[in-house]
Amino acid sequence: DVKVTQSSRYLVKRTGEKVFLECVQDMDHENMFWYRQDPGLGLRLIYFSYDVKMKEKGDIPEGYSVSREKKERFSLILESASTNQTSMYLCASSSWTEGTEAFFGQGTRLTVV
Amino acid sequence: DQQVKQNSPSLSVQEGRISILNCDYTNSMFDYFLWYKKYPAEGPTFLISISSIKDKNEDGRFTVFLNKSAKHLSLHIVPSQPGDSAVYFCAASARSNTGKLIFGQGTTLQVKP
C-alpha cells in the first residue's frame, strides 16, 4: 500500500518560530510537492522538487524554504512563522511514469499564534 | 494568475441524480488532468484522470470529459450518493515539463438523501 506520511497532524507554534514540516514517501517517486489549503483558495503550490537537491518555486513560496537531501524525504521550513501561515499543509509525491497520479499525505493543520 | 479555475464553490444534488462539476484552464501546455476528492481533515485522494489525447474517460460512476478547444473539463457522477459529499478538486499538469500539478479552488458537493 502506497504511503505518504507527514510528521504531525496538528501543530501550534508561536509567531517568529522556525517551523519544520516533514514528509516521507515510500514509493520511490521522483516528484514531491508541498501545498497549502485555505478556504476558497483551493490547493496552492508552495514548492516542488523533481529530484534530490532540486527544487522549483510554486505560486506562493514567500516565507518558506524546502530541503530534499534524500529521495524519500521532503521538508518544508517556515523561517519565521507568521499568523498568515496558519493553514492546512499537504505533501504529495508522484512519478514520471505516464498515468501516475500524485499521492497525498494526511495533512498538517498548523496554527501560528 | 489562476491557471486552473473551478468557478462553482458549491453544488447540491439529490441522491440518485447526476452531479456535474466543471473546471476551466488557461495554459495550453497542460496535457494531463486529474480529479481529486477530499474529506475534512484528510489528504485528497485520486479519483480519475484523463490525458489530452482523449476526450472521455470512465471509471464506474465517474466520467471525465475534456474539451481541449474550450480548455474545459467536467466530472460527471452518476448516480450520486450521499457518500460522494466532499470537496472536489481538479488539477492539471504539463507532463512534458516537470510534472508540476496545479489545482483549482475546489467545489463542495453535497448529495442529499
pLDDT bucket at B62, cuts 50 / 70 / 90: very high
Say how many CA atoms lie within 13 Å of A15 toward its Cβ: 4
Considering only CA atoms, which of A54, A43, A34, A55 is closest in space to residue A105?
A34
Average pLDDT for residues B67-75, to the nearest whole number? 97
pLDDT bucket at B100, cuts 50 / 70 / 90: confident
Reported as a single tens digit per residue, the pLDDT across A43-93 is 999 999 989 999 999 999 999 999 999 999 999 999 999 999 999 999 999
For residue A106, list chain B residues with Cβ-Cβ distance below 8 A: 42-43
CA A30 – CA A67 distance, rounded (Å): 14
CA A7 – CA B36 distance, rounded (Å): 23
Query: Can you name the residues that pair with A20 across neighbouring β-strands?
Result: A77
- Using only C-alpha atoms, chain B has a radius of gyration, in whole angstroms, of 13
For residue B57, list chain A residues with Cβ-Cβ distance below 8 A: none
CA A109 – CA A10 distance, rounded (Å): 5
Say how many CA atoms lie within 13 Å of A107 toward its Cβ: 20
Buried b / exposed e along B27-41 (16+ C-beta atoms within 10 A):
eeebbbbbbbbbeee
Instruction: For residue A42, give the 3-state DSSP assignment.
Output: strand
Q: Which of B51, B90, B105, B108 should we substitute to test contact with A (largest number of A Cβ atoms within 10 Å)?
A: B105
How far is CA B77 from each of CA B8, B35, B112, rounded to the nearest angstrom? Answer: 16, 12, 14
Give A90 to chain B, closest Cα distance, Å: 7
Give A104 to chain B, closest Cα distance, Å: 6
Range in A69-73, A102-106, B95-99 the model is least confident about: B95-99
CA B80 – CA A105 distance, rounded (Å): 27
Instruction: For residue A85, give the 3-state DSSP assignment.
Output: helix
pLDDT of A95 higher than 90? no
Q: Which of A21, A43, A44, A57 should we substitute to test contact with B (largest number of B Cβ atoms within 10 Å)?
A: A43
For residue A48, list chain B residues with Cβ-Cβ distance below 8 A: 98, 100
Pick from A33, A41, A106: CB nearest B101: A33
Pick from B36, B89, B99: CB nearest A31: B99
**Non-local CB neighbours of A21 within 8 Å, separated by 6+ positions:** A6, A7, A8, A11, A34, A75, A76, A77, A78, A89, A91, A108, A110
Considering only CA atoms, which of B22, B47, B41 is closest in space to residue A103?
B47
Pick from A56, A59, A109: CB nearest B98: A56
Element (H, E) at B112: strand B107-112
Pick from B49, B100, B104: CB nearest A101: B49
